[in-house]
Structure 1
Amino acid sequence: MLTSRIRNTNTDGKSFTFTFAYHTYFHVTDISEVRVEGLETLDYLDNLKNRERFTEQGDAIVFESEVDKVYLSTPTKIAILDHERKRTFELRKDGLPDAVVWNPWDKKAKAITDLGDDEYKHMLCVEAACVEKPIILKPGEEWRGRQELSAVPSSYCSGQLDPVGAFSSEEIGPA
């Protein structure tokens, strides 16, 4: 779990404005076999199309080419399913309304000096973020953002975002 706190300590009375994202990179077996659940039917800004706004179509995000999107007003839980490894990463977030999804694909991967030409096949970036509406803090104000990551076997999580529900209909402690 990562928790970030930012406080405006300006003594000049000026507000402080910023955007924020946890740059979370996941190692996946094969990007073409990965799905992201929890962002279906949401609006997003497509960074490959001059940040034009679209609405996601389909029941999950799958990858067949370069992706660089900022999903808006996202839920607190997002699942990244790696079918080949039979593992699901669950990302939980608080204070971060957006989510960035990025994979450079083959052409852009070749231009990134610290990424091997074929390494895009084994990585996916899903970031808890605050991008669309910057955070504005008046002097003395504080902002907090949190991201929690966990990995669970996919057989417990596929089709639902809370693996606890696979074992019991009762809540087992705080989420």
Structure 2
Amino acid sequence: MRGSRPLIGTALAAGALAAGALVFAPAAAAVTPGTAQAGYDCGSWGGGAATLAATQNGTSATITITSAVTTPIAVARDTINATLTLAKAGGGTVKFTGRKNPALPAGGAVRIGPLTGTVTSGASLNSFFAGPALTMNVLGFPVNCDAVTSQTPGPFVYS
């Protein structure tokens, strides 16, 4: 029985360390809702509903956009420069930028992202209406899209 006392002490110490690590571990960040839809008008490029999928890791956030806008010709991977601007509740904007897209076939829906941006805890982001909300450069052609609806089911809220 004497040999088991050091093992009990070691087990208790290991348990205390594990519990302490959990207390000091950063909380998992989450954005809600994870996806939203909003309407965009991209002029001669078309328009319609776009699906925005959001993720968060601390203050770093990403948004991937799948839009109703189609490309008239095939577009190679990672050739669309894009900026999505979202309005921040209480004033200001947050921009998500990047040059990420899968290869797109002629006539295929434009998919962009993940676009990256920086968010603060508690930030509530929704469609931006005071100018182009989404700007893209596709094969040297500028495409400006205006938001025509707010996001549904609601704004992205970051924890």
TM-score for the superposition, normalised by structure 2? 0.29
TM-score if structure 1 supplies the norm length?
A: 0.27
Higher relative contact order (CA 8 A, sep 6+): 1
